[in-house]
């Protein structure tokens, strides 16, 4: 039916006040459930009680960060020191608090952001009960409720349409298909979709966990942590150390009791001093700090990182699976061409009716603007016409006047206006699908097919003297022009894809849209391999063949949610590290299974809940920053990890030497604290924040141990040699012997730091010099030397220690050069 043109503000809105829904009180409508019927269903549990879960619960976050292997090891040692004292020997326990607090605070910050996003986007659907429309909470909808729909409303639960007045549903978040679907009474609607045109109502047939979107979210609700090679590598080292600690502790306590006699407290303190340095506690803390700082940096770019190791994960990714809708394209469309149809192509034969060739195109432009301006609720295609040719205000000044308007309908496949033209003629102008408006075999259809094969959308503009209210307004239509549109591409998409290509990260586009359309978008962005898109409906069922296709194909169309998940799994089976981006419910399962899930901030709550990274401003251009930040973190952590593991190796060696020689352990926990702080903790913190663009590689533990094992052996041997020589000189002055051992170990450890800090620049040299100066203060300032129980007696033993340290440094240089040559090879 036709309708008089009216301004947009006069149109009914999808956001109606309570009781004023477009279909809420129309006569003859079914009155919905009664209050008693609602109560019965609530009692039976037939209610939409799906809990809103945007992230891990606070309890889960705290538990995951507190109950770790690292905290267990250090916590037991700290508890023992609290019993035997003094407190300054328990300074290492502060690392537990810092490491745990960083992890908890970061995840709670991410949770707060996601929860607030979920609250802002929470829908308040309208239902009809007792013959009246009323707003209810999402969780108050019951089975068989009559849910009312208007423009912009979300479909909260699954159901069956009972009333429809031009009702069109966008199911792109579920299927990936961008075109809205016209719904009629009896058609199903699925939760997760939303209304883009018309109004209607449906009866809820599946609520709660039975609804489609809820089932996907439920399957993805089991929270999984990011696979982190850094974390798993460190955990492997901690696991090995855990098994090593028990026999070492027993050996140390027995040997120290034998040496110290009745002073069991001193024996326990020195046993703790031998065990604590074996645990690379600073490495765990530094990794958390480096990740947290990376999270803060990315947060300034509107990138929310839910888990600290997610930064590392994306830096290791070698394959990025992109969902076209919302990632490469935006919601709208753009007019890319306007092709006038000549008389030889079946166009308007009477050129005088519209003027000469130059005026003809201008007339078409004006008519398109007037048509678009007459549409109170323009769909994406008509909005693109408005963006290109205006809203018709200029045309109205030139003498165009709208008599009747007929909005676009998915059933008709066209929209139209009846216009009074500037020359005084009256005609109907139609804009719609060429295959509907033109007869089969029309010459213009060949060009339409050619453009369609490129993934472009083509609309036909035609003119006819037949009124809009005639039985067939398209009768006698004379085609005038083809309006060529393409989905609006994100401005940053092409540059981001080029960045990934330059970093040897393969991008694959996986979409529910038509394969040809997806391929055209990818080709326009310059993605290699986009000219051979694959329709997912033709994918082989055999797993090996499926994986082969997944690995060698760049663009996939008509992909179902399960197939997205299968594609991710197939790529992972070929050794790929896969990141998946998406915004719809149809992406949830693939996001969860991918090594890294990246969701858009405007996406569904389910996608944001399972993703490790959320792009709050929906900007795909942030991805290179995430990759660069991850590479900085990984490269620098790997650089400084050698410092921590050198300490682990020399601590194990010293413990074994002490056990076998029945000597007092050379250090108290406070000595280990000052050595770790000045040669490892503080310098490693600054080195971990330095720029680093090295590509992430696998084999973290193997590469780190190449320097750590020989470096630790050299440091431990040099330290025990100096300690043994000092004890031979004055066996009763344990404080002096400990001071010589501390000096020797500091010099060797600072040499290791000097190797790790290369290549040098001014601030790295200043850092090494500052650490040396700080240790000199500890030795020379009386209250510091008293606190740490350090005092160098005489000159012989200290200089012997210095000489041994210099020899050890030369050996370190030789070993480092050999190891570096092997690594480069």
Annotated catalytic residues are 323
Under 8 Å between Cβ of 203 and 189:
no
Vertex 588, ends 293 and 329: CA angle to 5°?
Answer: 80
The pair of three-digit structure tokens given for residue 487, joined into one six-digit string: 């989905």
Paired sense of beta strands 329-340 and 534-535, if any = unpaired
- Separation CA 6–CA 393 (nearest Å): 14
- Separation CA 500–CA 521 (nearest Å): 17
The pair of three-digit structure tokens given for residue 49, joined into one six-digit string: 């009680």
3-state secondary structure 75-136: HHHHHHHHHHCCHHHHHHHHHHHHHHHHHHHHHHHHHHHHHHHHHHCCCCCEEEECCEEEEC
Strand partners, 431: 415, 461
DSSP run (H or E) holding 168? strand 158-170
Neighbour-count burial of 690, counting CB atoms closer than 10 A to its CB (0-12 exposed, 13-18 middle, 19+ buried): middle
Residues 6+ apart with CB under 8 A from 321: 508, 509, 510, 564, 567, 568, 571, 578, 579, 580, 581, 590, 594
- Beta-carbon neighbour count of residue 356 at 10 Å? 9
- Beta-carbon neighbour count of residue 391 at 10 Å? 18
- Beta-carbon neighbour count of residue 774 at 10 Å? 14
Residues 6+ apart with CB under 8 A from 398: 366, 422
Number of alpha helices (DSSP H) and beta strands (DSSP E) in the chain: 29, 21
- Residues in the chain, how many? 825
How distant is the alpha carbon of residue 89 from its chain centre?
42
Residues 6+ apart with CB under 8 A from 559: 176, 510, 511, 512, 536, 567
Vertex 188, ends 183 and 193: CA angle to 5°?
Answer: 75
Please name which of 407, 350, 403 lies closest in space to residue 378, comparing C-alpha atoms. Answer: 407
Paired sense of beta strands 555-557 and 506-510, if any = parallel
The pair of three-digit structure tokens given for residue 718, joined into one six-digit string: 């040099």
DSSP run (H or E) holding 338? strand 329-340
Please name which of 584, 511, 583 lies closest in space to residue 173, comparing C-alpha atoms. Answer: 584
How distant is the alpha carbon of residue 376 from its chain centre?
37
Paired sense of beta strands 555-557 and 132-135, if any = unpaired
Under 8 Å between Cβ of 417 and 397:
no
Vertex 104, ends 99 and 108: CA angle to 5°?
Answer: 155
Task: Provide the 8-state DSSP code for 122.
Answer: -
Indicate if the alpha-carbon torsion angle 326, 331, 332, 333 is positive or negative: positive
Residues 6+ apart with CB under 8 A from 505: 317, 318, 319, 320, 627
Please name which of 700, 653, 595 lies closest in space to residue 313, comparing C-alpha atoms. Answer: 595
Under 8 Å between Cβ of 461 and 430:
yes
The pair of three-digit structure tokens given for residue 286, joined into one six-digit string: 């530094």
DSSP run (H or E) holding 517? helix 515-524
- Separation CA 38–CA 29 (nearest Å): 19
How distant is the alpha carbon of residue 129 from its chain centre?
41
Under 8 Å between Cβ of 366 and 417:
no
DSSP run (H or E) holding 510? strand 506-510
Tell me the H-state helices in 730-790.
734-756, 762-780, 782-787
């Amino acid at each position: 039916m036709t309708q008089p043109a009216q301004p947009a503000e006069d149109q009914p809105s999808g956001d109606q006040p309570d009781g004023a829904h477009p279909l809420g009180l129309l006569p003859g409508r079914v009155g919905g459930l009664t209050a008693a019927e609602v109560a019965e269903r609530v009692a039976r549990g037939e209610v939409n009680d799906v809990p809103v879960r945007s992230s891990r619960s606070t309890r889960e976050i705290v538990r995951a960060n507190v109950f770790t292997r690292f905290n267990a090891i250090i916590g037991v040692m700290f508890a023992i020191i609290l019993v035997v004292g003094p407190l300054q020997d328990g300074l290492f326990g502060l690392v537990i608090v810092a490491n745990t607090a960083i992890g908890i605070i970061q995840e709670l910050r991410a949770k707060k952001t996601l929860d607030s996003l979920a609250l802002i986007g929470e829908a308040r659907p309208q239902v009809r009960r007792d013959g009246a429309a009323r707003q209810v909470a999402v969780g108050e909808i019951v089975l068989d409720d009559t849910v009312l729909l208007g423009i912009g409303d979300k479909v909260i639960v699954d159901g069956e349409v009972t009333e429809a007045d031009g009702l069109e549903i966008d199911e792109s978040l579920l299927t990936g298909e961008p075109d809205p679907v016209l719904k009629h009474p009896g058609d199903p609607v699925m939760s997760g979709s939303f209304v883009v045109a018309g109004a209607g109502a449906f009866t809820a047939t599946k609520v709660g966990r039975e609804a489609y979107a809820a089932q996907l979210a439920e399957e993805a609700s089991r929270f999984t942590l990011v696979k982190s090679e850094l974390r798993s590598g460190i955990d492997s080292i901690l696991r090995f150390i855990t098994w090593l600690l028990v026999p070492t502790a027993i050996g140390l306590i027995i040997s120290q009791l034998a040496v110290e006699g009745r002073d069991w407290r001193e024996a326990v303190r020195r046993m703790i001093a031998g065990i604590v340095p074996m645990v690379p506690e600073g490495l765990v803390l530094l990794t958390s700090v480096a990740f947290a700082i990376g999270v803060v940096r990315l947060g300034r770019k509107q990138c929310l990182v839910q888990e600290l190791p997610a930064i590392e994960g994306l830096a290791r990714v070698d394959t990025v699976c992109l969902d076209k809708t919302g990632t490469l394209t935006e919601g709208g469309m753009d007019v890319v061409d306007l092709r006038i149809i000549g008389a030889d192509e079946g166009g308007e034969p009477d050129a005088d009716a519209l003027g000469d060739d130059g005026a003809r195109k201008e007339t078409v432009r004006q008519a398109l603007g007037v048509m678009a301006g007459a549409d109170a609720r323009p769909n994406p295609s008509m909005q693109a016409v408005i963006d290109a040719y205006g809203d018709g205000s200029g045309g109205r000044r030139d003498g165009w006047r709208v008599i009747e308007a007929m909005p676009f309908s998915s059933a008709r496949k066209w929209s139209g206006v009846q216009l009074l033209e500037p020359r005084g003629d009256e005609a109907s102008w139609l804009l719609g699908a060429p295959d509907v408006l033109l007869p089969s075999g029309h010459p213009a259809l060949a060009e339409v097919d050619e453009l369609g094969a490129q993934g472009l959308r083509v609309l036909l503009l035609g003119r006819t003297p037949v009124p809009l209210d005639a039985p067939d307004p398209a009768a006698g239509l004379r085609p005038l022009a083809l309006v060529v549109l393409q989905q609006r591409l994100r401005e940053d998409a092409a540059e981001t894809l080029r960045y990934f290509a330059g970093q040897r990260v393969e991008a694959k586009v996986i979409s529910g849209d038509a394969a040809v359309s997806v391929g055209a978008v990818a080709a326009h962005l310059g993605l290699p391999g986009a000219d051979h898109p694959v329709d997912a409906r033709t994918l082989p069922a055999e797993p090996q063949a499926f994986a082969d296709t997944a690995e060698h194909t760049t663009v996939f169309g008509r992909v179902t949610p399960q197939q997205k998940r299968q594609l991710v799994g197939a790529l992972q089976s070929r050794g790929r590290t896969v990141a998946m981006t998406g915004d719809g419910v149809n992406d949830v399962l693939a996001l969860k299974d991918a090594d890294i899930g990246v969701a858009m901030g405007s996406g569904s709550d389910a996608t944001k809940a399972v993703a490790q990274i959320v792009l709050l401003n929906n900007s795909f251009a942030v991805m290179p920053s995430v990759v660069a930040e991850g590479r900085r973190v990984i490269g620098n952590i790997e650089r400084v990890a050698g410092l921590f593991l050198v300490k682990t190796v020399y601590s194990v060696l010293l413990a074994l030497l002490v056990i076998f020689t029945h000597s007092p352990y050379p250090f108290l926990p406070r000595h280990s604290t000052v050595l770790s702080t000045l040669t490892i903790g503080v310098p490693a913190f600054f080195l971990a924040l330095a720029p680093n663009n090295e590509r992430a590689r696998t084999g973290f533990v193997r590469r780190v141990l190449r320097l750590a094992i020989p470096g630790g052996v050299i440091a431990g041997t040099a330290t025990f040699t100096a300690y043994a020589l000092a004890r031979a000189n004055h066996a009763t002055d344990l404080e002096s012997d400990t001071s010589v051992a501390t000096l020797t170990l500091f010099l060797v450890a600072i040499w290791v730091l000097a190797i790790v800090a290369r290549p040098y620049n001014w601030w790295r040299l200043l850092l090494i010099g500052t650490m040396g100066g700080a240790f000199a203060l500890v030795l020379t300032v009386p209250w510091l030397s008293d606190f740490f129980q350090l005092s160098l007696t005489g000159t012989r033993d200290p200089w012997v220690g210095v000489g041994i340290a210099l020899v050890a440094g030369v050996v370190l240089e030789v070993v480092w050069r050999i190891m570096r040559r092997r690594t480069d090879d």
